A = this chain, B = another copy of it.
Amino acid sequence: MLHERATITLNDVAQRAGVSPMTVSNVINGKGNVRPATRQRVLTAIAETGYRVNPLARSLAGGHNRIISVFTPQLNRPYAAEVVQGAGEAAERLNYDLVVMMLSPNSTSDFSMMARLSVGALLIQPSRQTQQFSTDLPTHVVSVDGPSAHPLVVDNYGGACLAMNHLLSLGHTEIGFISGLEAEPDVKDVPQGSDLYERNDAHERFRGYRESLALAGLPQNAAYVQHGNFTKESGEQAAQALLRLPVPPTALFVSGDAMALGALHAAQDFGLRVPGELSVVGFDDLPMATASRPGLTTVRQPLLHMGAVAVQMLAALAAGEEPLLPAPFPTQLIVRESTARR
């Protein structure tokens, strides 16, 4: 296994096989019109030289490639990491290569390159800015948790109802809510009817909370609602505020696992036993949900699956099909130890 420094080109292979470059190209791309004998000769030449196509040249020349690009905010956010992982597994199955780029808010880089090099782009939680740039991507675009031509969303409302019904069925009537609304100041005052509003995770979960309460015939107590920004610290603070109330809630529905863990710890610091004296439900089912004691009851989002579906759609799109947009992905209640009967 010697390592050739000089790059072997299609021409080299052609010469070695005694055919024209075009024929080699045809063999590589599996065009039918090549005599078996010739094809075989080319194939051996390829094997002997260790030739590998240069995707750059191929893309430049207008050929096809099997690359899908992923644009994501920070990768050390478990949410994004999970989606990417799911996408990666699907890509491998479909024989696509996945190329990931991190989009930082103040980055100036020209990401259109990777987009040009790929047959499709997967956008994870695209920001305003990303949405902007996505409109002039020359490829197909699918997004997870954010707008695009093909947006994949989770059923946040349904998930919230799942969590609330669990709490309700456990006999809780005083249920506090910690939202993630603080995180995105720019959407906080979006009119209720707008598309953006409808799609916003935080709002949908809030809506699930409110409507579940209403459906159960329970009054809404504005004091039971606090806003965090998805960090553990904000969850801690929000929970403290809730627990200091004259009549504190007996259960908390927290719309993010990190915040939920913060709330759980705040409760423990208050000397409250969880779930004995306070039940806590999170949202997301990030890995950290199992790292706590008691384990966090939470609403799981099918993150891996969504990543995989995104890639499948992109592959279909690349193949000229027009895949139908899947319905909001259903969530699942994962009952661990942080919830108990009132």
Which of B56, B92, B112 contacts A107, CB < 8 Å? B92
Max chain B CB contacts within 10 Å: which of A56, A59, A89? A56
- Quick one: which of A92-122 are within 8 Å of B by CB? 92, 95, 97-102, 104, 106-114, 116-117
Q: Would you call A284 an interface residue if the criterion is a C-beta within 8 Å of the partner chain's C-beta atoms?
A: no
Q: Would you call A81 an interface residue if the criterion is a C-beta within 8 Å of the partner chain's C-beta atoms?
A: yes
Closest-CB distance, A118 to chain B (whole angstroms): 11
Q: Would you call A84 an interface residue if the criterion is a C-beta within 8 Å of the partner chain's C-beta atoms?
A: yes
Q: A100–B113 contact, CB under 8 A?
A: no
Q: State A114–B113 Cα separation when bound (angstroms).
A: 12
Instruction: From A12-20, A38-46, A131-139, give the one contacting chain B.
Output: A131-139
Q: State A116–B85 Cα separation when bound (angstroms).
A: 24
Q: Would you call A76 an interface residue if the criterion is a C-beta within 8 Å of the partner chain's C-beta atoms?
A: yes
Smallest CB gap from A138: residue in B: B2
Q: B5–A138 contact, CB under 8 A?
A: yes
Residue-by-residue, is A59-97 near B (CB-CB < 8 Å gives 1, otherwise 0)? Answer: 110000000000000111010011011001100100101
Instruction: From A22-30, A172-180, A240-248, A285-293, give the one contacting chain B.
Output: A285-293
Q: Would you call A129 an interface residue if the criterion is a C-beta within 8 Å of the partner chain's C-beta atoms?
A: no
Max chain B CB contacts within 10 Å: which of A139, A140, A265? A265
Closest-CB distance, A289 to chain B (whole angstroms): 8
Q: Would you call A11 an interface residue if the criterion is a C-beta within 8 Å of the partner chain's C-beta atoms?
A: no
Q: Would you call A3 an interface residue if the criterion is a C-beta within 8 Å of the partner chain's C-beta atoms?
A: yes
Q: Would you call A215 an interface residue if the criterion is a C-beta within 8 Å of the partner chain's C-beta atoms?
A: no
Q: Would you call A55 an interface residue if the criterion is a C-beta within 8 Å of the partner chain's C-beta atoms?
A: yes
Q: Would you call A162 an interface residue if the criterion is a C-beta within 8 Å of the partner chain's C-beta atoms?
A: no
Please report the total number of A residues contacting B with Cβ < 8 Å: 60
Q: State A101–B70 Cα separation when bound (angstroms).
A: 10
Q: Would you call A169 an interface residue if the criterion is a C-beta within 8 Å of the partner chain's C-beta atoms?
A: no
**How many copies, total?**
2
The residues of B that contact A265 with a CB separation of less than 8 Å are 293
Which of B2, B52, B57, B261 contacts A60, CB < 8 Å? B57
Q: A81–B75 contact, CB under 8 A?
A: yes
Q: Would you call A203 an interface residue if the criterion is a C-beta within 8 Å of the partner chain's C-beta atoms?
A: no
Which of B2, B57, B100, B113 contacts A101, CB < 8 Å? B100
The residues of B that contact A232 with a CB separation of less than 8 Å are 290-291
Q: State A85–B80 Cα separation when bound (angstroms).
A: 12
Q: State A291–B338 Cα separation when bound (angstroms).
A: 14
Which of B57, B97, B110, B140 contacts A109, CB < 8 Å? B97
Q: A117–B56 contact, CB under 8 A?
A: yes
Q: State A342–B250 Cα separation when bound (angstroms).
A: 37
Smallest CB gap from A61: residue in B: B60
Q: State A2–B62 Cα separation when bound (angstroms).
A: 14
Interface residues of A (CB under 8 A from B): 2-5, 7, 52-57, 59-60, 74-76, 78, 81-82, 84-85, 88-89, 92, 95, 97-102, 104, 106-114, 116-117, 135-140, 232, 261, 264-265, 268, 287-288, 290-293
- 16 residue pairs bridging A and B, Cβ less than 8 Å apart: A2-B139, A56-B113, A56-B116, A75-B81, A75-B84, A76-B84, A76-B85, A76-B287, A92-B104, A97-B101, A97-B111, A99-B114, A100-B101, A261-B291, A264-B293, A292-B292
